[in-house]
Amino acid sequence: MATSRELPDTPFPFHSVSNGEWLPPSPTPQQRAAARLYVEESERRARRLSISRREFMRSAAGMATAFMVLNTVSGLACTGPEAILPVTPDQCDDPEAAAELFVNNYFVMDVQLHHVDSTAFPIEFWRFISQQIGSQLPRFYHPNDPAGLTDVETLNLLSQVNFVKEVFVDSETDVGVISGVPNGVPLPVETMAATRDLVNDLAGSERALIQAMIAPNHADPNHATALGSLEHQVIDNGARAIKCYPGSDLWWLDDEQIAYPMYEEARRLGLGLVNVHKGFPLGNNSASADYWKTTDLAAATRDWPDINFMIYHSGYFPPTNPYGFTPGIALFLDDIAAMGTRENLYAEVGSTFANSLFSPESAAHLLGQLLGALGSSKIVWGTDSIWWGSPQWQIDALKVLQIPESMQAEFGYPALNDCDKERILGLNAAGLYGVDVNAVRGTIRADQLSAWRDEMGGPEATRSHYVYGPESPGEFEDLMAHAGDLESE
């Protein structure tokens, strides 16, 4: 069965993509129709402009046409106050007119970026892991890639080099935070620092920051992510915040014996931000189910008012989550309502915003709900790239997205204005990480990465339009069962 990944150079997937931690739903007939319609519309417009389909899809008009297709198959308006992703026919036909749609010069700071250390964890490691335990960390080994790539080639796409290209050359991301993963696999804390240094050395300016990955209850006190490593990660590696996974390590944010000593150590070292993975449960361990929820936020945010807590993914549960939790961010919203105002609580939208975009109404609801519950000053931009490929399509979507007047009236959502978008796309993160936006923007204009991007024709010219996660239950299951393939090699 064909998938949209087999279609050439679509500027973004027309249905959900998993980072390998959760089962994606099958593409719906509507989503498949959108992918087919997009190719047809691109062919027609490319011929009219006397350019190749690939060139058209990489243009601003190609992105505008993708939004038009999403609106069309969803039965939504393309223009006017009821449009969610407003585009005009001229913007779909004319690359210059389309460029005006995306011209807003926002400062973009992405706080959730990952890649694979393919030196520390080469293909032989992933083949062995796949043979031994199959269902664990499968996303990095994919011998049956729908695009026909080998397992070595798919791993290289997740490497440090391609990460730098996808994020800092092929997108408008100004500053990125390299985010931690459980136990440092497949991105050790030392590699995070090395990648940050590589990006900043290539740029000649500070374009990348890192977090300290901490498991405060780690059984091995000498492990690279144990609490005892925090001083090294901050003092020696220059980490600017903590990242943690209570659902993976089975502890609560309000546990006075496990979590509170971590906050004390963070305070001692001058850190004021703790980033917490909630929602998007990893694996299917029934013992961990409740740890993925945000019920432990109230006491922690109350008891530590000088520490900011950022909830990654906004606590989003996909429809296919193994525990039957209410899909979306409803549980997080309930916990926010129950605890009342917390000035030290933030919501990050990595993978959550991307998954909502395939139904534009869902994207409008997501942002409307977060705006109503927290306000635009508490929503932080993240994309969970490199799993999604270049984050530029997500940036473009937020640039143009609006909450229709009818949804504002029916659900009480505020409008989404340019000031809100400035905060969400970068200003909020800059404040939390102590980034001087004006100083950074001044250096970025002249740095080497920006120069390379301009020399190659801008972020559209070389963008791969490739995504790196499974897009259907079948692909996800392929990732889970390679032992037979390996034994026959």
Q: What is residue 140's predicted lDDT score, i.e. its pLDDT?
A: 52
What span, in angstroms and rounded, lies between the C-alpha atoms of 393 and 391?
Answer: 6
What pLDDT does residue 214 have? 98
Lowest mean pLDDT across 72-76, 368-372, 437-441: 437-441
CATH of domain 109-117+157-451: 3.20.20.140
Question: Which of 304-313, 342-351, 368-377, 451-460 is least confident?
Answer: 451-460
Strand order across the 308-312 sheet = 212-213, 242-244, 273-277, 308-312, 345-348, 379-380
pLDDT for the residue 253: 98
| Residue bearing the bigger pLDDT, 486 or 449 | 449
Task: Report domain extents, the chain.
Answer: 4-105, 109-117+157-451
The segment with the largest mean pLDDT, out of 91-95, 122-126, 140-144, 281-285, is 91-95
Q: Given this model, what pLDDT does residue 6 score?
A: 40
Task: Measure the CA–CA gap between 406 and 403, rounded to whole angstroms.
Answer: 8
- Model confidence at 388: pLDDT above 90: no
Confidence of residue 4 (pLDDT cuts 50, 70, 90): very low
Q: Is the dihedral of CA 333, 335, 340, 345 positive or negative?
A: negative
Report the pLDDT value the prediction gives residue 260, as an integer from 0 to 100.
98
Say whether pLDDT at 128 is over 70.
Answer: no
Summarize the confidence of residues 43-68 as an average pLDDT: 94
| Average pLDDT of span 405-430 | 98
pLDDT for position 479: 47
Residue for token digits 């005009």? 88
- Amino acid 269 reads L
334 Cβ neighbours under 8 A, 6+ residues apart: none
Residue 157 is predicted with a pLDDT of 81
Look at residue 485 in the predicted model and tell me its pLDDT: 34
Mean pLDDT confidence for 94-117? 93
pLDDT of residue 464: 75
Give the phi and the psi of residue 242 in degrees, each rounded to 5.
-105, 145
Query: pLDDT higher for 262 or 169?
Result: 262
Q: Which of 145, 153, 147 is nearest to 474 (CA)?
A: 145
Nearest in space to 215 (alpha carbons), one of 226, 230, 223, 231: 226
Query: What tokens were used for 393?
Result: 């399509």
Measured CA to CA, the distance from residue 260 to residue 304 in angstroms comes to 9
Angle at 328 between CA 326 and CA 333, to 5 degrees: 85
What value does the CA radius of gyration of the chain take, rounded to a whole number of Å? 22
Q: Mean pLDDT throughout 11-35?
A: 80
Q: Scanning the structure block, which residue is given the tokens 């959550």?
A: 352
User: Is the model's pLDDT at 225 over the cut of 50?
Assistant: yes
The pLDDT assigned to 149 comes to 65
Q: What percent of the chain has a predicted confidence (pLDDT) above 90? A: 66
Amino acid at 68: M
Residue 46 predicted with pLDDT over 80: yes
Q: State yes or no: pLDDT of 469 exceeds 80.
A: no
Look at residue 316 in the predicted model and tell me its pLDDT.
97
Q: Find residue 113's DSSP bridge partners.
A: 178, 385
Taking the whole predicted model, whether its pTM rises above 0.85 is answered as yes
Residues facing 276 on adjacent strands:
244, 311
The arithmetic mean of pLDDT across residues 221-250, rounded, is 97
- pLDDT number for residue 461: 72
Return all residues near 262 (Cβ < 8 A) that are at least 6 apart.
214, 216, 227, 230, 242, 244, 274
pLDDT score of 482: 36
The most confident of 26-40, 113-127, 157-171, 292-306, by mean pLDDT = 292-306
Compute the CA torsion angle 186, 188, 191, 196 (nearest 10 deg): 90
* Whether residue 61 has pLDDT greater than 70: yes
* Range name among 109-113, 140-144, 233-237, 276-280 with the lowest pLDDT average: 140-144
Across the chain, what does the average pLDDT equal?
88
**In what helix (H) or strand (E) does residue 54 lie, and over which residues does it extend?**
helix 53-57
The confidence band for 144, taking pLDDT boundaries of 50, 70 and 90, is low
pLDDT higher than threshold 90 for residue 134:
no
